[in-house]
Amino acid sequence: MFSSPSVRRSVLIGGQAGQGVAKAAELLGKMFVRLGYYVFNYRDYPSLIRGGHNFNVITFSDERIFSHDEDPPIVVALDKRTVDTHKAEFYITGSFYTPDRGIQINTNEALKQGIPPVSQNVILLGALAKYLGIPKSIGKEVVGELGPLNVKAFEFGYDRSVDGERAGRIPRKGLYFLTGNEAIALGALAWGIDMYIAYPMTPSTPVLHFLAKRKEVVTLQLENEIAVVNAALGASYAGANVMVGTSGGGFALMNEALSLQGMSEVPLVVYLAQRMGPSTGVPTYTSQGDMLYALHAGHGEFPRVVVAPGDPAEAFRMTMEAFYLAYRYRVLSIILGDKHLGESHYTMLKEEFRPLVRPERFYVFPKDGYKSYEDTPDGVSPMAVPGSIPFTVRATSYEHDEYGITTEEAHEIEKMVEKRLRKAETVEQAVSSLKPLDVYGEGEKVILSWGSTKGAILDALKGLKDWKFVKINYLKPFPRREVMNVLEDAKRIVIVENTSTGQIGKLLAMETGIITEDKILRYDARPFTPEYIRRRLV
Amino acid sequence: MKLSLETKAENTWCLGCGDFGILTALKEAVTQLVEEGYKKEEFVLVSGIGCHGKIYDYVDLNGFYSIHGRVLPTALGIRMANPDLKVLGFAGDGDTYAEGISHFIHAARYNLDVTFVVHNNQVFALTTGQATPTTQKGFKGKSTPEGKWDEPLNPILLALSAGATFVARGYAYDVKHLTWLMKEGVKHKGFAFIDVIQPCVTFHNITPYVRERIYKLEDTDHDPSNLEAAMEKAREWNYDMDPNAKIPIGIFYRAKKETIEEGFGRKVPFYRMEKLPKPWEEVIEEKRIV
């Protein structure tokens, strides 16, 4: 079917939780990347541990792709419900069901050969690999990470399948395959993170699992998100480079301490992985609904940075930037991701990861006195670590003088408020030399968006004429001038966002005075696909 | 040269407040510890919010004036980042037993190596006199004009059952004894909890009640290594106004146990490790497929 490899193709693998759907999909993705294809792997799962219905859509192409398709023509079903749920042209199933169209592998026979029922996913992956024309040797190498028994399971399926299509080899090197969550964890490691502190919460939990395995970082799971964020501030005050990770509900619990960050000026990096709310909402599905909240969470006025990566390479880079800005300027940095970015696999190129900042420690070790909140021209007070100098180092939630002693004097208060305002301006200047926004394509009509919608929009753009895509990378400080320049001559400005209200439109109006009511919104907790955007754009 | 711990901050506690006793004991304990070889710059004071919190302003030590109820997680972060630092936590009874009680239980469980002093005046004083979890039943405050309906919490018992490895009670007006307790707390490896009876001269003055019933565990044959005996002693006063109660002060319990810092192998402060992350190309290498 895909004799011409540049045609974008998709396969769906579905089954119950616990049957290994996600693993089979990841392995298939790796096989295609090995062959030189670009792959996107979307994961769809409900909030349960056993049963239910999970599926992944693996989309691959010879051209760059960053999104998945609706209704793939080939379905690998690990249970009957998958067959019933997804209409397809071709099914691959096990002994449990004989499809009208497609192939059935006798998985009962595999049992007799000592292949356990839990390996059904790998058996059917083998059958799929053969059908798609993936060389057996490549499949076996990739499956090897699961051990010899699974290699046997893979061969069992492969040998009993039929020839369908021919996946060609594309001579291409330097392809990386990873999720947004993995990229954020790697970005933190590339910065030199000392501590990661979290309480488990989907969809941020994979970062906790990933870093817990690493010796170079101390990973702590504490009793709740309030403990997490206050411990992070304590650790940061005492000289550690720290990140915390959570989702909406946990982020809400952290709010009081975000405000403490603002007053104490103790550096803090927060990874906020959004999911569909309000409240418990739809815990394993995606949303961008916490954007305005992330921009304003915490009482009182204080500077902050909010970065919104749109793919894993950006997530890697921007995590390093979040650390850089937090520690260089003693501010709060929020990395605003979501379930779609965090748990989807993307194919990335090496150069796309290249950081714009270099890892560094910004502590000072003064010899003749120290003021914790020195009133400097740029508003940034040099940071010393307690115990490293023979002077007192203070951090405080109260308004304070330059030494960090509590004050309620009007002129002292004004002085410190203005110091923090100047610091905000300093941070804004620093961000302007990073990449606060990206513009893709050319045209008089503009799609305006941010974050994980990037993939579907970029792929939709290929079939559109006279459209360009303006992606905001820094929601705070907002690149006001750059955005106004790029939108100046726009004939149409359409917002694409995974929300029901179009929050980027409100932010745009607030920051620039530009108002647009043209919106493509999706709020069924599912991510955009290119078809979805094209359909709605007409 | 005598160690100076003074600051220029104006003291705004009420005349006769028990907090003065705790402040004096702190300064005396740190002074003596420095004379014994501890370094002044390695002490960090963490306070919560309430009358007690002002202690942050009144002593010239490294300090983190944190938010209400969160002294212990803040202290935990400090200790994990730099295990050379000697952390002295000061918190109120509202702070610890209302807003932050989960942290109290977990810090005891983790055996976090800090000294944690609770200024227990059995009242919210800075908010002008409401009941806290340790206020006696029947207390008529502004939020309980008909009298508080619930029984008080016994924090000594709670700490013992949560696994604290050093559990003590002090009295704000016995500065010498409290100084000794603080020093013992600092020297103890693990979670050293000292609940200090600190009568509030304005909203909850139980000084006469306490004075008639107080005695020192050190003057008895109490064995602080015996958990059951410690629990027995803890039950002698349930923070109520029982006329028949006796109020022991001193060390109820002391034990050895691994600390969370040891559990995570924390030895060298991060800021001194000068660890260089791998170049970014090497960090992403594990995700390269071809």
Which percentage of chain B shows pLDDT scores above 70?
100
With a pLDDT cut of 90, the percent of chain B lying above it is 98
- Which helix (H) or strand (E) covers residue A417, if one does? helix A410-432
Backbone angles phi, psi at A83, to 5 degrees: -65, -45
Q: In the sheet that B192-197 helps form, which strands lie side by side, from edge to edge?
A: A394-396, B62-65, B43-47, B86-92, B115-120, B192-197, B166-171, B247-254, B214-216
Q: Alpha-carbon distance A344 to A334, whole Å?
A: 20
A9-159 has CATH 3.30.470.10 classification: no
Distance from CA of A500 to the nearest CA of B (A): 35
With an 8 Å Cβ cutoff, are A230 and B70 in contact?
Answer: yes
The second-level CATH assignment, the architecture, of A437-537 is: 3-Layer(aba) Sandwich (3.40)
Domain extent listing, chain A: 9-159, 174-434, 437-537
For residue B86, pLDDT beyond 90 = yes
Domain locations in chain B as residue ranges: 18-287
Residues of A in contact with B34 (CB under 8 A): none
> A95 with A108: CB under 8 angstroms?
yes
Q: Do B290 and A192 lie within an 8 Å CB cutoff?
A: no
Whether A452 shows a pLDDT value over 50: the answer reads yes
Interatomic CA distance for residues B212 and A368, integer angstroms: 52
- Please give the Cα distance from B88 to B97 (Å, whole number): 18
- A9-159 and A174-434 have identical folds: no
What does the pLDDT average to over A424-443?
97
pLDDT of residue B1: 60
Phi, psi torsion values for A436, nearest 5 degrees: -70, -20
Q: Which chain A residue's Cα is nearest to B50?
A: A398
pLDDT of residue A357: 98
Q: What is the spatial distance between Cα A140 and Cα A151, in angstroms, rounded to a whole number?
A: 6
**Residue A424 reports pLDDT greater than 90:** yes
Residue A300 CA to residue A260 CA, distance in Å, equals 10
Q: Confirm if A185 and A209 have CB atoms less than 8 A apart.
A: no
Say which CATH topology domain A174-434 has.
Answer: Rossmann fold (3.40.50)
**Residue range A370-398: mean pLDDT, rounded:** 98
List pLDDT tens digits, range A149-194.
Answer: 999 999 999 999 999 988 889 999 999 999 999 999 999 999 999 9
Mean pLDDT over residues A91-114, rounded? 96
- Cβ <8 Å between B67 and A223: no
Residue B38 scores a pLDDT above 80: yes
Report pLDDT for A6: 61
pLDDT category at A1 given cuts 50, 70, 90 is very low
Indicate which of A193, A230, A403 best probes the interface with B, i.e. most B CBs within 10 Å of its own CB: A230
pLDDT of residue B36: 97
Q: How high is the pLDDT of residue A2? A: 54
- Please, which residues have CB within 8 angstroms of residue A368's CB and are 6 or more apart in sequence? none
- Could you tell me the two tokens for A401? 């003088």
Please say whether the beta carbons of A91 and A75 come within 8 A: yes
Segment A225-231 mean pLDDT: 98
Tell me how far apart the alpha carbons of residues A70 and B77 are, in angstroms, rounded to a whole number. Answer: 46
- Tens digits of residue pLDDT in A330-348: 999 999 999 999 999 999 9
Answer whether B271 sits within 8 Å of A404, measured CB to CB: no
Q: Among candidates A280, A282, A258, A279, which has minimal Cα distance to A268?
A: A258
* pLDDT tens, residue by residue, A230-247: 999 999 999 999 999 999
Q: pLDDT tens-digit profile of B211-225?
A: 999 999 999 999 999
Over chain B, what is the mean pLDDT? 97
Residue A448: pLDDT over 70: yes
> What pLDDT sits at residue A463?
87
CB contact under 8 A, B82 and A387: yes
Does residue B55 carry a pLDDT above 60? yes
Q: Is the pLDDT of residue B191 over 50?
A: yes
The answer to whether A13 and A94 are in contact (CB under 8 A) is: no
CA–CA distance, B15 with A94 (Å, rounded to integer): 82
Beta bridge partners of B43: B86
**H/E element, A103:** strand A102-104
Q: What is the CATH number of domain B18-287?
A: 3.40.50.970
pLDDT at B6: 96
pTM as predicted: 0.98
Q: Which of A166-170, A412-416, A513-517, B101-105 has the least mean pLDDT?
A: A166-170
pLDDT value at residue A4? 54
